[in-house]
Amino acid sequence: MPSSDIIQLLPDSIANQIAAGEVVQRPASVVKELMENAIDAKATQVQVILREAGRTLIQVIDNGTGMSETDARMSFERHATSKIRQSEDLFRIRTMGFRGEALASIAAVAQVEMRTRLESDELGTLIRIDGSEIKTQEAVACPKGTNFSIRNLFFNVPARRNFLKSNSVEMRHVLDEFQRVALAHPEVGFTLHHNDTEVFNLQSVKLVKRIIDIYGKSYREQLAYCQEETSYINVRGYIGKPEFARKTRGEQFFFVNDRFIKHNYMHHAVISAFDGTIPEGSHPFYVLFIEIDPSHIDINIHPTKTEIKFDDERSVYAIIMAAVKKAVGVYNLSQSIDFEENINFLNPSPSEPNNNLIPRTVMPDWAAQPRQSESGASKSNLTNWSKLFEGLQNTEDRHRELAAFEMGNTTASRPVYQEQAKTVASKVNRMASEVIAAPEADALLFQLHNRYILSQVKDGIMLIDQKAAYERILYERYRKMLINRNGACQQLLFPKTIRLTHSDMQLVHETKKEIRSLGFEFDEFGSNELIIRGIPADLPEESEQDLFEELIEQLKQSYSDLKLNKPESLSRSLAKRFSVRYAVKLSYVEIHTLLNQLFSSSDPNRTPGGEPIIVLLTMDKLANIFRG
């Protein structure tokens, strides 16, 4: 009679592969785990050597304490750890690795060789493992510390290997992990070599120097110190000064007890502290360390240990926000007050008390003229006021005209545009009566709050979302550029040099064909710098660095889809990003141009993401509104 028992224990090799699916997601995961093991082993020097972004080789060499022969063998067993002896120890964790899964998981999906030696031993231990199967264990002469060589990651799991991205993308993830560990431990020296090229050579230094060594000398003037000590947590680190905020994310780091974490709530605390000092859509730099009793946190809620829970998140939020706000405030105060000059303060008259400490706004000469009477201003003063506005209308018209041409209004001539622009003001003044009296053939156009366009149609009113309309137009334009690789480029009179992080530079390498297709022209200059020689001709006027950084940010956010359909994904992302630039006042001609372009698109009714562009309010619907 067949047995009815169907539950059985998994073999160790399969169990380790399942664990590897959580811990080892890509080469960067291996780099992170091995670097953290080296830190736990009290290493002062850590070398990382890669080939093909870690696909074929990841080697991590440290000068830490090393392991005995028995510990070397035990380190590859699941749940083998030197950090945990009883359940209470889980709430006192201050080291990086502690669950004993990393080495077992790595050995399950790669060919691993480890050489390790204690300082007190004459010989060390060599262990070779292929896919969880031990091939060799023997004594060997080797330096003090540990040397891991991880070859052919996922060699025995082809499906997992096929999910790896290109070398540029995988290297970008490796750089992210390397920089996080290096920032967390400035007292440790780190080197990184990729395909025999030195990427980083970081000496043991203080935190501020480590930041500059990683991100470049330009950061020397950007950093402001931040510190706050309380009985619950201590906060210390550096923030970027507000004017150096960038359009790209990725240079924001939280470390809790020297462990890198991601925490949206605490990130919001930092952003709130910068409120009013940086433009919307910009991201400040920060490297903040939080020291807290481990009993107040739970770090074991995610396999990669990058998420964390505090037992009192509101208090942590308030303390971080206060610390950053103080640092921002101190910096702004020191920059805005000049203690050597007196031009920002009133000089008292001999008969008045000393009011030197009362700030005022410096006024132009014409505003300082004496009043002629209490009842009103003189004619000469009124003339002075009116002169302020001379020429502004012509300047505004020229800007609008240029914008209309940039958005594709090639059919209208400049004289026609100028003539039509002169009639807009009087037409708006007659709007109330004309809305009721105008015949159907003379449909009216009206812009509301720089956001919506209203048009009279046969059966009611058509409402058009201006931003959504531009999103549809820009999407089709960018998609055409990317497919045909013919984006128009506007050459810069003076090329602009911009500096990128290592990981952003890897992203540029991966997508440079697409970037150039949009109309950007650039050359590489050094390891992490680009010379921007041209920008897309139809983008809104903005600094070249901001435009390029916004492009990088969109590439980061949409990269998961780029491999499937680069033109489609990138066009959607860029159109959504840059359409907000066109929430501006439009002239009558520009509104017509917008509508012509919208209704000649493939789908005027919806954005590429499926949101409505046009809403029709019929006469019946309007009547129902007034009936209540």
> pLDDT higher for 63 or 84?
63
pLDDT of the residue at 405: 43
Q: How far apart are CA 253 and CA 288, in angstroms?
A: 6
Contact 209, 63 (CB under 8 A): no
Q: Which stretches within 388-450 are classed as H helix? A: 392-406, 414-422, 424-429, 431-437
pLDDT of the residue at 577: 77
Contact 226, 327 (CB under 8 A): yes
The tokens of 138 are what?
């023997």
Going by pLDDT thresholds of 50, 70 and 90, the confidence category of residue 483 is: confident
- Give span(s): CATH 3.30.565.10, the chain: 12-204
Amino acid at 312: D
Q: 271-287: per-residue pLDDT in tens?
A: 999 988 888 778 999 99
- Give span(s): CATH 3.30.230.10, the chain: 215-335
pLDDT of the residue at 17: 58
DSSP-assigned letter for residue 221: G
Overall average pLDDT of the 583-596 stretch: 86
Q: Say yes or no to pLDDT of 124 above 90.
A: yes
Q: 424-452: per-residue pLDDT in tens?
A: 333 333 433 333 332 233 457 888 998 99
Q: 170-180: per-residue pLDDT in tens?
A: 998 999 999 99
Overall average pLDDT of the 373-396 stretch: 43
Write out the H or E segment, with its range, that includes residue 110. none
pLDDT of the residue at 411: 40
Say which CATH topology domain 12-204 has: Heat Shock Protein 90 (3.30.565)
Neighbouring CB atoms inside 10 A of 331's CB total 19
Burial of 267 (0-12, 13-18, 19+ CB in 10 A): middle
The CATH number fitting domain 391-628, selected from 3.40.630.10, 3.30.1540.20, 3.60.15.10, 3.30.450.40: 3.30.1540.20
CATH class of 215-335: alpha beta
Overall average pLDDT of the 558-563 stretch: 55
> pLDDT higher for 302 or 164?
164
Which string of DSSP letters, residue by residue, matches 54-74? GTSEEEEEE-S----HHHHHH
> pLDDT higher for 461 or 3?
461
pLDDT of the residue at 556: 74
> pLDDT higher for 8 or 117?
117
* SS3 category, 95: coil
DSSP-assigned letter for residue 507: H
Q: Say yes or no to pLDDT of 404 above 70.
A: no
Q: Which residue has the tokens 């209308």?
A: 393
Which of 92-96, 216-220, 295-299 is the least confident region?
92-96
Best CA proximity match to 452, nearest among 578, 573, 581, 585: 585
Mean pLDDT across the chain: 77
Q: How far apart are CA 201 and CA 47, in angstroms?
A: 9
Q: Say yes or no to pLDDT of 403 above 50.
A: no
- Give span(s): CATH 3.30.1540.20, the chain: 391-628
Query: Which segment, 152-161, 198-207, 300-309, 457-466, is predicted with the most confidence on average?
Result: 198-207
- 122 φ/ψ sector (left φ>0, alpha ψ -120 to 50, else beta): alpha
pTM over 0.75? The answer is no
Q: 8-40: per-residue pLDDT in tens?
A: 666 666 666 555 556 788 999 999 999 999 999
The tokens of 322 are what?
């206060």
Antiparallel, parallel or unpaired: β 57-62 and 45-51: antiparallel
Neighbouring CB atoms inside 10 A of 338's CB total 9
Q: Which stretches within 259-391 are classed as H helix? A: 264-273, 313-336, 379-387
Q: How far apart are CA 239 and CA 230, in angstroms?
A: 19
Query: Which segment, 251-260, 275-284, 583-592, is predicted with the most confidence on average?
Result: 251-260
